Structure 1
Amino acid sequence: MRRSSGAAAASVGLAALLLSGCVPEAAPPPPPVTITATVTATPTPAPVSTPPAPPAAEPAPPPAVPNAPAPVVEWGPAYDTGPREGATGTPVLDGAGVPSSYTVVEGDHFFDIAQRFELPQQQLLRMNPQIHDFGETVYIGDVINLDWTKTG
């Protein structure tokens, strides 16, 4: 059986009609946008006035000795704060009542002796070059110099 071209056109038209309900409606076009450009002139900067140059400073004098060691500031005379754990012996006093030496007794520690007499441990070590190992090894009977005017 042959169909006529008229029947084919009718079936295509019928199919287009049936499928036309499946296509969503086209969205309305967006409203037109208006852009307004404004041109402003770039302001010309005001000339900057430079302040007058300060007078030339004198150059600093070079150090007297580069990399010189810091000065050693020794504390004043020893001051006995009294016996304490680690420093229980009796000091020898000079004529003014200032401790001049201390004899190590059992249980004493160099650090505690320094604290008792309010002297920095490093200064007490400088005052007593016979003490070795940073004061870690003091022995019963060692005499510790407490007079900062006498070393050795």
Structure 2
Amino acid sequence: MARQLRPEELDFVATAPVRMVFERDTAAPPDRVFHALASDVSGWAEWFPGVTSIEPLDEGAGRDVRLWGGGRFRETVLAAKEPEVYAYRVDVTNAPGVRALVEEWRLAPAGTGTRVRWTFATDGTALFRAVVRAARPGLGRSFRDAVAALDRRLAAR
């Protein structure tokens, strides 16, 4: 059953009750990483574990995301400032317990490559918050695997 979430803005990444930040460097320069995040939206399914499909909506202003196991998210893009930041919020989901969710990808030059910082900011029921906190190691591993796969994908192009 799809549920409408609280429509948080970008500042939620600093104030969310549950906030996780992960970083990893890539060999690809920031403009190529940004393009993969913001322009090649359907390509996420090839490098981000758990994503089965992402389709852009409303000429890139939103996204429809499907995950392994049946999870679904309808998102609104909050920021797409090339090559520094790409962020979105979840507006509608079938995930239980979540009340608000914003993700931010910040890119910064790191030598000839890019430092990728992903902030996962969320709120929900007490049980949801506890489960998400317990899932931190898995989210971190998923992020690291995703950035490594993205780096390989960009190197092959």
TM > 0.5 between the two?
no
TM-score, reference length from structure 1: 0.23
Which of 1 and 2 has higher RCO (CA within 8 Å, sep 6+)? 2
Where is the strand percentage greater, Structure 1 or Structure 2?
2
TM normalised by structure 2 equals 0.22
Identify the structure with the greater helix proportion. 2
Determine which structure has more spread, i.e. the larger CA radius of gyration. Answer: 1
